[in-house]
Amino acid sequence: MQQLKPVDVVIAGGGFVGLTLAKEITARTSLSVVVLERGQPRKMSDYATGMDELDYTMRFRMMQNLAEETATHRHSARASAVPIRQYGSFHPGTGVGGAGEHWAGISYRFYPEAFRLATFLREKFGQGLSGDLNVQDWGVTYEALEPYYWRAEQLIGVGGKAGNLQGKKIDGGNVFEGPRSHEYPNPPHKVTYVCSVFEKAARDLGYHPYPVPTATLSRAYTNPDGILRSGCAYCGYCVRYGCMIGAKAQPTNILMPVLAKHKNFSLRTGCSVRRVVHRDGKAEGVTYLDADGVETMQPASIVIVASWTLNNSRLLLLSKVGEPYDPATGKGTLGRNLTHQVSQSTRVFLDKPLNAFMGAGGLGIGISDFDGKEGLDASPGVLRGGNIRLMSTGEGPIASFGMIPPGETQSDWGSDFKKAALRWHDRVASISTEAEHMAYRQNFLDLDPTYTDNHGDPLIRMTLDWTEHERAQGAMLTKVHAQLAKAMNGRASPSNSRQLERYTVTQYQSTHVNGGVIMGSSPDRSVVNPWLQHWQVPNLWVAGGSAFPQNGSGNPTLTILALTLRAADGIIDRYVKRPGGLA
């Protein structure tokens, strides 16, 4: 084993979380920081030749190579798991920037009560809650996180319209959101034809449409680090692509240029971290395989695990840090509260061409009249809702070909199919929903007993299925989809109505997989404290969506960034000055 000289901080994972922490630490201290990234370097100029639907949308060129490593899945602890052999219900990234390069840019805040969800639900429903619910408070309040949300929004340059400015409700924004201290750093996106049709339909029905908040810049913008990026050109090569002009906030365009200026920062690519080395409640560093395959030990005073959600749990399980969760007894914390998000969509067939190839990952109009705690009264048994939105993300000609109203043709090939597909081409929009996913006793992560990665280490195993509650959420929200589609003068067709019957690995839902290394106010029920510091190993930090005790309804990246910036303050302002537990 190759032994390296100790550094102050080693970070496993060069995505949004790892590089944000590296930026904060190297800019504000003299500590030496090493980031280990298993993938390859990336730069903006790589992306111009990447405007190719086949390689990027159909073949997932930016994603983790599943031939080397994947996850396994089973629906319950009674079943045996099989590998997710091809993409896929979610899309983990690889390479510098991670999934933060190919994301959509959608940047919601979670609702204030979502951070104290267990308390909120107990107050509202008393003892009538299912015993299988593992919902918990986060240990941090919305009010404490709000300054960090604001910092994150400035960092990535979110455009939108506030619906609640310091408690004052503002028409045209999301009036159901928590109070903001500031208006968004940038104005909303331009609105496409189909979004304007949706907006009018929503308003006519008495709902409260708002522009979806997004980090695909609505204009040229300089962030507080002095990084200037140009406004979005709406080319449509956005979700599953890197942005060729840097309008979409990505770690490579907002974090790497800042990091490059700091001599105390170094990035090593092609390096797969395999273990956190620890003894007697202290992390000593990490071992990894370097780009030449040499097993290497990097000692460090502070170890930060910042890989993608599932990989955070896996690295801790492989390293035997903390007690694995046992769903039978409820004991142990590592791997508990695996959540995804409740995704539903409805196709709307319209009579005019939409030019749907124009767009941006975050360009859309949403309503939140059935989100969070709103609008649930007519749907007994539904604990939490979800957003409803119509996005103009940019459709490619392959993926969008062949969407035909049900019953129009018998076959999905041949002359009749071709005729119908051409007739309806570019006349299809999608109303979609992402609803909060509750945590349950039976949904969790552990190591797979059978399947391994290309190094021989066990894969992470997901035990996950939907319950009656998610089906009730889906039914409530798709009813509103149909109502909106009708108000748009469109023909509605649920496109994934069976998806909530059983968790389906083959259908993309979102990359919003969360939990496993959850945060909380008690070491009995969480792995990390509200500063994302490990309860038992105070010089170990585990950051990312893995910290969510359960999932909110919006896209998680902004909340992940806010928690990361708060963790950075904890490390820099408190821990470095006086090492020890912060909570």
Partner 1 sequence: MKRREFLTMPVGSLGGVLLYTLAGEAVRLPAQTQAGEIRVPLRFFTAAEARVVQAACERIFPHDANGPGATEAGVVIYIDRQLAGPYGSDKYRFTQGPFVDSVPEHGYQGKQSPGEIYREGIKQLANFTELPAEQQDQRLRAMETSMFFRMLRQHTIEGMFSDPMHGGNANLIGWQLVGYPGPLMSYRDEIDKVHGEAWVRKPVSLAQVVGRPVSGWEDEKEPK
Residue numbers annotated as active site: 512
**Taking CB under 8 A as the rule, does residue 414 contact partner 1?**
yes
Indicate which single residue of 175, 332, 451, 536 sits in contact with partner 1 (rule: CB under 8 A): 451
| Binding range to partner 1, per CB under 8 A, among 168-176, 294-302, 415-423, 508-516 | 415-423
Closest to partner 1 by CB, 230 or 522: 230
As measured in angstroms, the least distance from the Cβ of 273 to partner 1 is 19
- If phi > 0 it is left, if psi is from -120 to 50 it is alpha, else beta; for residue 263 that is alpha
Count the neighbouring beta carbons within 10 Å of the beta carbon of residue 197.
Answer: 23
Closest to partner 1 by CB, 406 or 414: 414
Closest to partner 1 by CB, 147 or 270: 270
**Taking CB under 8 A as the rule, does residue 59 contact partner 1?**
yes
- Counting residues that bind partner 1 (by CB under 8 A) gives 67
Closest by Cα among 562, 538, 557, 559 to 21 = 562
Closest by Cα among 510, 529, 515, 526 to 560 = 515
Indicate which single residue of 20, 32, 70, 309 sits in contact with partner 1 (rule: CB under 8 A): 70
**Taking CB under 8 A as the rule, does residue 84 contact partner 1?**
yes
What CA–CA distance (Å, rounded) separates 376 from 469?
13
What CA–CA distance (Å, rounded) separates 337 from 474?
20
**Taking CB under 8 A as the rule, does residue 426 contact partner 1?**
yes
What CA–CA distance (Å, rounded) separates 275 from 393?
39
**Taking CB under 8 A as the rule, does residue 222 contact partner 1?**
no
Closest to partner 1 by CB, 68 or 295: 68
Q: Chain-centre distance of CA 482, in angstroms?
A: 27
Residue 204: in which H helix or E strand, if any? helix 193-204
Q: Which residue is listed with tokens 């015993």? A: 131
| Binding range to partner 1, per CB under 8 A, among 2-10, 65-73, 285-293, 557-565 | 65-73
CB-based burial label for 407 (10 Å; 0-12, 13-18, 19+): exposed
Closest to partner 1 by CB, 30 or 507: 507
Count the neighbouring beta carbons within 10 Å of the beta carbon of residue 200.
Answer: 14
Pair 512, 551: CB distance under 8 Å: yes
| Binding range to partner 1, per CB under 8 A, among 96-104, 281-289, 328-336, 420-428 | 420-428
Closest to partner 1 by CB, 414 or 579: 414
Tell me the Cα Rg of the chain. Answer: 23
| Binding range to partner 1, per CB under 8 A, among 84-92, 273-281, 371-379, 550-558 | 84-92
As measured in angstroms, the least distance from the Cβ of 84 to partner 1 is 7
**Taking CB under 8 A as the rule, does residue 402 contact partner 1?**
yes
As measured in angstroms, the least distance from the Cβ of 198 to partner 1 is 13
* H helix runs in 54-189, sequence order: 117-125, 142-156
Q: For strand 295-305 and strand 7-12, is the pairing parallel, antiparallel, or unpaired?
A: parallel
As measured in angstroms, the least distance from the Cβ of 355 to partner 1 is 5
Residue 561: in which H helix or E strand, if any? helix 557-569
Tokens for 264, please give them. 């105390």
State the DSSP code for 136. Answer: -
CB-based burial label for 487 (10 Å; 0-12, 13-18, 19+): middle
As measured in angstroms, the least distance from the Cβ of 269 to partner 1 is 11
Indicate which single residue of 4, 44, 66, 170 sits in contact with partner 1 (rule: CB under 8 A): 66
Count the neighbouring beta carbons within 10 Å of the beta carbon of residue 453.
Answer: 17
Q: Which residues pair with 168 in a beta bridge?
A: 165
How many residues would you count in the chain?
583
Binding mask 327-366 for partner 1 (x = CB under 8 A): -------------------------xx-x-xxx-------
| Binding range to partner 1, per CB under 8 A, among 131-139, 157-165, 419-427, 485-493 | 419-427
Q: What Cα–Cα distance (Å) separates residue 337 from each residue in 185, 238, 355?
A: 34, 31, 41
Closest to partner 1 by CB, 205 or 245: 245
Closest to partner 1 by CB, 303 or 365: 365
Pair 93, 100: CB distance under 8 Å: yes
**Taking CB under 8 A as the rule, does residue 238 contact partner 1?**
no
Closest to partner 1 by CB, 301 or 499: 499
As measured in angstroms, the least distance from the Cβ of 503 to partner 1 is 7
What CA–CA distance (Å, rounded) separates 433 from 478?
8
What CA–CA distance (Å, rounded) separates 260 from 35?
13
As measured in angstroms, the least distance from the Cβ of 62 to partner 1 is 11
Indicate which single residue of 231, 285, 516, 554 sits in contact with partner 1 (rule: CB under 8 A): 231
Binding mask 29-58 for partner 1 (x = CB under 8 A): -----------x-------xx-xxxxx--x
Restricting to residues 259-298, name those near partner 1 by CB under 8 A.
Answer: none
**Taking CB under 8 A as the rule, does residue 403 contact partner 1?**
no
Pair 139, 526: CB distance under 8 Å: yes
Closest to partner 1 by CB, 32 or 70: 70
| Binding range to partner 1, per CB under 8 A, among 62-70, 126-134, 139-147, 168-176 | 62-70
Q: For strand 444-452 and strand 514-516, is the pairing parallel, antiparallel, or unpaired?
A: unpaired
Pair 394, 236: CB distance under 8 Å: yes
Residue-by-residue DSSP string for 3-38:
EPPPEEEEEE--BHHHHHHHHHHHHHS---EEEEES
As measured in angstroms, the least distance from the Cβ of 190 to partner 1 is 4
**Taking CB under 8 A as the rule, does residue 582 contact partner 1?**
no
As measured in angstroms, the least distance from the Cβ of 67 to partner 1 is 5
Indicate which single residue of 132, 141, 193, 326 sits in contact with partner 1 (rule: CB under 8 A): 193
What CA–CA distance (Å, rounded) separates 215 from 229?
11
Indicate which single residue of 331, 419, 455, 471 sits in contact with partner 1 (rule: CB under 8 A): 419
Q: What Cα–Cα distance (Å) separates residue 200 from each residue in 32, 206, 289, 446?
A: 54, 10, 55, 47
State the DSSP code for 81. Answer: P
Contact footprint for partner 1 (CB under 8 A): 40, 48-49, 51-55, 58-61, 65-67, 70, 73, 75, 80, 82-86, 190-193, 196, 231-237, 244-245, 352-353, 355, 357-359, 396-398, 401-402, 411-415, 418-419, 422, 425-426, 450-452, 502-506
